[in-house]
Amino acid sequence: MSFRLSLLFFILTNGLFSQVNSIEWEPDYSFNIKDFQGAKTSINEDIDKELVHSGVILDFEFQMSNVEFMFTKNFNSKVNCTFHRDAAVIMASDSLAAKRLMDLVKFDFDLSELYARKIRKELFENKKTFSDATFFQPYFDKMIAERDKISSRVYSETDFGNNPEVLKKEHEAVKSELKAYSDYCKVCKPPKNRNKTN
């Protein structure tokens, strides 16, 4: 059976997806097949090419005056990690294969939140009073590239989730690192010492 991966991962917000049909990252969210509402989602024994579109979107957006921007240090609430049901697709030959792919998407969702937190930390530590509105781009691009590299490696090393032991080990490492970045959750207030290291 051949496998195909299409990782749907947008850097900027895409207006095609309804905010109502999206899920903000939650640590204990459990996916089910009903979350994958993309038009091609199917579990059918005739499927010989498994497919997954994660539906995970990581974005950074803000709208504020120049004065507000100048004095804003905490951008935690402006960096979002969401799962969009309308963009998420799973095509699998049976429910076991679908569950395996959902486990992979859960890993990817947690990995994306980890990198959302890393982005928030970079923004907090590197935003200066006179930074312009594009100051974030190098940090954002760097973190997205790192995230994508890890995601690709794990998809490959787990054979798209066919090796659950490896996936579990990788997922546990991500969960542990998420805790280390707890000051940078979306609703958290970062520590006053900007140079604090994790």
pLDDT in tens, 101-122: 999 999 999 999 999 999 999 9
Residue 49: name the closest of 3, 6, 97 by CA: 3
Print the domain residue range for 47.
2-184
Q: Give yes or no for residue 192 having a pLDDT over 90.
A: no
Question: Is residue 14 one of the residues assigned to a domain?
Answer: yes
Q: What is the pLDDT of residues 6-60, one digit of tens each?
A: 333 333 334 444 456 999 999 999 999 999 999 999 999 999 999 999 999 999 8
Alpha-carbon distance of 37 to 18, in angstroms, equals 12
Assigned domain for 124 exists: yes
Is 31 a domain residue? yes
9-18 tens-digit pLDDT: 333 334 444 4
* Predicted pLDDT at 71: 77
Which residue is listed with tokens 């009073």? Answer: 129
Q: Per the domain annotation, does 88 fall within a domain?
A: yes
DSSP letter assigned to residue 152? H
- Domain annotation covers residue 192: no
Total domains, the chain:
1
In a domain, 70, yes or no: yes
- Angle at 24 (CA atoms; ends 92, 174), nearest 5 degrees: 70
Mean pLDDT of the chain: 86
- Whether residue 72 lies inside any domain: the answer is yes
CA 173/CA 48 separation, integer angstroms:
32
CB 81 within 8 A of CB 29: no
